[in-house]
Structure 1
Amino acid sequence: MKVEPLAAAIVAEECVWSLSDAQTVLCYRRDGDGRPLLLLHSMNAAASAYEVKPFFEDMTLQVPLYAPDLPGFGRSERRDCVYSPEFYARVIIDIVKAMDLGSVDVLALSTTSEFVARAALEAPELFHSLTLVSPTGFMRRRSSRSSAAERVHGVLRLPLLGSGLFRILRTKPSIRFFLDKAFADGAPEEMVDYACASAAQPGASYAPFYFLSTQFFAPDAVGELYEPLKQPVLVLYDEDPNIGFDYLDEVALGRDNWRLHRIPSTLGLPHFEEPELTQAALVSFLEDSA
């Protein structure tokens, strides 16, 4: 069955970059004044820049906005390669270099928060501040990156089993089930439709299988990634059915560069459920850290 090309996730100017490893990345952008803000979607079976769309639609943010589809997702290249935290950290660094606008502010959703923290430690001169929305890595620490994850990934890549499982995961009922977890009143229909279209693209399973086999999570994100950060950090969060925040208060305690801000009555995507509160908190943080 012929698959229709994926439509634009955001009505905005588009640019395409070839990164250092020749991966091609599509990025949505909007002009503005001041330091640019890089907006990064999460990791899941149907992730794309659609997840940060509200930031483009609300004009509270007057700064330049950039929102790429990360490799393996959306309208960017979906090559069959090794996707890992180190890979995405390099990609994020390469994207900031491709922007060629000096240091940037970054907002990342969920698991991508770990990748951004890793990138900011590797190239601190490129990252002025970090905003983490429902970030992973604050649950009970894992002692090591388990080899079991690689075995699970190997099973997922078995032609019949893997393709069959992904066909189930990308059905509309399945995608709606997972997206609904982030919304008290259910996910917007347009968001569900776009996620379904994105997950139906050729190569759509390559990166998600690394995520589903838990290979994207650092064994000790708190000690390895978050505690060493020197940049100003804002965490936007409340309740999240998939993520715990056991160590969040502990990390922020005594660290003047960390700010925690709850967006009440939200379930992981506060910029969709409470856009005004979310953007007000973000704007205040960006102004204070300028």
Structure 2
Amino acid sequence: MSVQPTERPATLPTALLGALTLGTAAALSWIAYSRFFINHHYPLPSALEAERRTFVSPTAGLLSYYRALPRDSNSHRPLVLIHSVNAAASAYEMRPIFEHYRGTRPIYALDLPGFGFSERSDRRYTPQLFSAAIADLLRTQIRTDQPVDIVALSLGCEFAAQVALDLPERVHALALISPTGLAGRRANSIQQAQRRGASEWLYRTFSFPLWSQALYDLLATRASIRFFLKQSFEGAPDEGLIAYAYATSHRRGARYAPLHFISGKLFSADILERVYLRLRVPTLAIYDQDAFTRFDALPSLLAQNACWRAVQIAPTRGLPHFERMAEVAQALDEFWA
């Protein structure tokens, strides 16, 4: 009596094929949903209750900024605010500082290229483009003989620092809140992509026309925005910031600059050596904990460059001016005094 061999089903290959099929179907469904059902023309109010003006930068194109002037603006040093760069960045990120100093000095808050009401065209976004936008604002829109004070946030600090290095005659002092570029060897994967030469292929992958909008829409859901902002607050995230982040990320062209950001193309691997260590204007770092960057190199920087000083405002997680504005203002006022 012969025993027929029992055929064993290819369980693992079948399971993998099934998972791949389901994954592909889900991805295609989201791409279709993104294209036909997500509103990419969301109404966008002003991020700040202030006059909004525009100008054309020869390098960065159409740029928008907010301005609030006191009655005797000529006798006060201008204050320039530079927001961060992320998937849903905007001048709203600088709102507490803008409101605190409103009426006491001329205040300008720039929409960086690719964000807010500034040009959001499909082009290459680079650190040089962002620095040029800030420099052109200082050169053409702030008509005063006095150099300005700049307060910048997160990745915006790198661009502002470059301007302070290039145009020291136009920058009186530089305050950097949770600055990137100080993580040393423990930078996160996005920050390291440029250093490792991976940013270009990451960008080509993320920006592929078939799925670039759908990928960005995943990052810009209300749930995703809340998740990421929650990591930057010690307490509950600011609801106004969440709402504005959602609105500004659902505009035509909103994805172009953020896709460069998540590819790592907007970080400068040599910002510490090339810029921070060479700054000759008074520079203040305001920091504590931050889920998206580290400050391991800050003690060494303070020891090597006497122009730098630092204030730790704790407990905060990257946006101290939203939760401890009084302490941030005290640090700034003592720095500027």
- TM more than 0.5: yes
Counterpart of 1:118 in structure 2 is 162
How big is the shift at 1:156?
0.8
Query: How high is the TM-score relative to the length of structure 2?
Result: 0.81
- The structure 2 residue matched to 1:238, chosen from 281, 288, 292, is 288
Amino acid at match of 2:88: A
Counterpart of 1:96 in structure 2 is 138
Q: For residues 113-152 of structure 1, what are the structure 2 equivalents within 5 Å?
A: 113-141=157-185, 145-152=195-202
Do residues 23 (structure 1) and 49 (structure 2) align? no
Counterpart of 1:68 in structure 2 is 110
Amino acid at match of 2:170: L
Do residues 202 (structure 1) and 252 (structure 2) align? yes
Count of residue pairs brought into register by the alignment: 287
Deviates more, 1:178-187 or 1:57-66: 57-66
- Alignment deviations for residues 54-106 of structure 1 (CA, whole Å, 9 cap, x no partner): 01222487221100111100111111111111111111111111223242111
- Provide the rounded CA distance (Å) in 2 between the counterparts of 1:156 and 1:42: 21
- Alignment deviations for residues 9-51 of structure 1 (CA, whole Å, 9 cap, x no partner): 1101221111123611111111134110100000001000000
Contact 1:179 1:186 in 2 (8 A): no
- Provide the rounded CA distance (Å) in 2 between the counterparts of 1:230 and 1:112: 19
Contact 1:15 1:28 in 2 (8 A): yes
Amino acid at match of 1:101: T
**What are the ranges of 5 or more consecutive residues in structure 1 without an aligned counterpart?**
none
Using the aligned pairs only, state the percent identity.
Answer: 39
User: Whose radius of gyration is greater, 1 or 2?
Assistant: 2
More helix by share: 2
Q: Residues 256 and 61 of structure 1: is their aligned pair in 2 closer, same or farther, counting only changes over 3 Å?
A: farther
- The structure 2 residue matched to 1:4, chosen from 27, 37, 42, is 42
Q: For residues 1-290 of structure 1, what are the structure 2 equivalents within 5 Å?
A: 1=39, 3-21=41-59, 23-32=61-70, 33=73, 34-59=76-101, 62-98=104-140, 99-102=142-145, 103-141=147-185, 145-287=195-337
Contact 2:121 2:253 in 1 (8 A): yes
**What are the ranges of 5 or more consecutive residues in structure 2 without an aligned counterpart?**
1-38, 186-191
- Provide the rounded CA distance (Å) in 2 between the counterparts of 1:24 and 1:5: 19
Amino acid at match of 1:19: S
How big is the shift at 1:220?
2.0
Q: Residues 58 and 179 of structure 1: is their aligned pair in 2 closer, same or farther, counting only changes over 3 Å?
A: same
